[in-house]
Amino acid sequence: MSTPQNFDQNQFPQGQPYQAPPVEQPKKKKKWPWIVGIVAALVVFGAATGGDSDDATTDTVEAADTVEAVEAAEAPAAEPVAAEAEAEAEAPVEEAPAEQPGDLQIGETTELGGMQVTVSNARFASDYFGTYVCVDVDLTNVADSKKHFSQFDFELEKPNGVVADTTFTGLDIRNLETAELNPGGNTNGTVCFDGDNTPGEYKALYKGGFFGTPVSWSVTL
In what helix (H) or strand (E) does residue 17 lie, and over which residues does it extend?
none
* Distance of alpha carbon 82 from alpha carbon 78, whole angstroms: 6
pLDDT in tens, 45-69: 555 555 454 554 555 545 455 545 5
What pLDDT does 144 receive?
A: 96
Task: Mention every residue, 6+ apart, whose C-beta is less than 8 A from residue 156.
Answer: 133, 163, 164, 166, 193, 195, 202, 203, 204, 205
Q: Half-sphere exposure (CA, 13 Å, Cβ side) for 112? A: 24
- Map residue 65 onto helix, strand or coil: helix
Give the integer Cα–Cα distance in Å for 26 and 132: 150
Decide if 186 contacts 199 (C-beta within 8 A): no
Name the E strands within 142-214: 147-149, 154-157, 163-167, 179-181, 186-194, 201-206
What is the distance between the alpha carbons of residues 8 and 208, in angstroms, rounded to a whole number? 163
Provide the terminal-to-terminal Cα distance of the chain, rounded to the nearest Å. Answer: 192
The lowest-confidence range among 27-36, 130-139, 188-197 is 27-36
Kindly state the average pLDDT of the residues 191-204.
96
* pLDDT digits 0-9 by tens, 97-119: 444 556 899 999 999 989 999 99
**DSSP code string of 106-145:** TT-EEEETTEEEEEEEEEEEEETTEEEEEEEEEEEE-SSS
Alpha carbons 17 and 165: distance in angstroms, whole number: 156
Q: Is the pLDDT of residue 34 over 80?
A: no
139-190 pLDDT per residue, tens? 999 999 999 999 999 999 999 999 999 999 999 999 999 999 999 999 999 9
Residue 191: closest CA among 205, 208, 180: 205
pTM above 0.85, yes or no: no
